[in-house]
Structure 1
Amino acid sequence: MDDGLYPALGERMARLRRDLKITQEALAGRVGMSRATIASIEAGRQRVTLDQAYQLASALELDSLAELVPLDVKRYEPIHAAMEKGLNPIQVSQIQEILRSGLARANATRKRS
C-alpha cells in the first residue's frame, strides 16, 4: 500500500544525489549499502526503513527528513466507507452483521476469561 511513495522517494533521492554530483557507489559507501541497493531504491523497487531514510537524508546532506520523503499523505478513510462504495445495501448489511457477531463472540470470550 505505498501509492507511489517509494517511486517518488527514489526519484527525489536520485535528483538530490545528482545535485551533489556523487555516484550511486559513493552514496552507498556513505550509508553502508550496496550500489545495487541504492539503484533499486532510486528505481522505486525497494522499500526503505525509517532508519535507512534518516541515513540517506544525512548522507545527502539534508537538514530534514522531509526533504527526502514525500509527505503527501492520503487522508484516512474508514474501512466501512471504502467498502460501501462498491457494495449494494444488502452486502453492507451482511458485512455489518458479521462484524457485530464477531465482536459479540470476542466480548463473550473475554468475559469468560
Structure 2
Amino acid sequence: MLDDTNIIVGKNIREARTNILEISQDELARRVGLSRPSVANIESGRQQVTVHQLMIFSNALGIPAYRLLPNTPEKNEDLAEDAYQVEPGLQKWLAGL
C-alpha cells in the first residue's frame, strides 16, 4: 500500500517540475543525482524521499522544501505557527526517517 504522504510529496515534485521548470524527468534526475526511474518512482509515491533528498529536490526545483510537503500553506511568512499543526500522516512519515 502506498503511503499518502509519499504520494503527495511525489505529486508536488512532479507539479513543480512540469509547471515551474517545465523540464523532463531525465533533466530533474540529472540535477538531483538520481536515475530517471528513481525520479519516476518518487513522483508516483512508490519510493520514499529522505529529508536529504527533499532538500536536494527543493534546491533543484528552486522552491522551499516545505512546499513539497502535504498540507503546507501557500503563503506563510511565519512557519513557526504551523509547527504544531502537522498532519498525523506527515508525523508518521517524519517519524519513519
TM-score over 0.5 for the pair? yes
Q: CA deviation at 1:3?
A: 4.6
**Structure 2 counterpart of 1:22:** 23
Measured against aligned partners, the alpha-carbon deviations of 1:19-58 in whole angstroms (never above 9, x if no partner) come to: 1110000000001000000000000000011000000011
Letter aligned with residue 54 of structure 1: M
Larger Rg: 1
Change (3 A) 1:6 1:61: same
- In 2: Cα distance, 1:34 partner to 1:3 partner: 22
Question: Is 1:73 aligned with 2:74?
Answer: no
**Unmatched 5+ residue regions in structure 1?**
77-113
Matches within 5 A, 1:36-75: 36-62=37-63, 64-71=64-71, 72-74=86-88
Q: CA deviation at 1:73?
A: 1.5
Change (3 A) 1:59 1:24: same
Q: RMSD value over aligned CA atoms?
A: 2.1
**Structure 1 counterpart of 2:80:** none
- In 1: Cα distance, 2:8 partner to 2:41 partner: 13
Describe the SS at the equivalent of 1:55.
helix
**Structure 1 counterpart of 2:81:** none
**Unmatched 5+ residue regions in structure 2?**
72-85, 92-97
Stretches (4+) displaced over 4 A: none
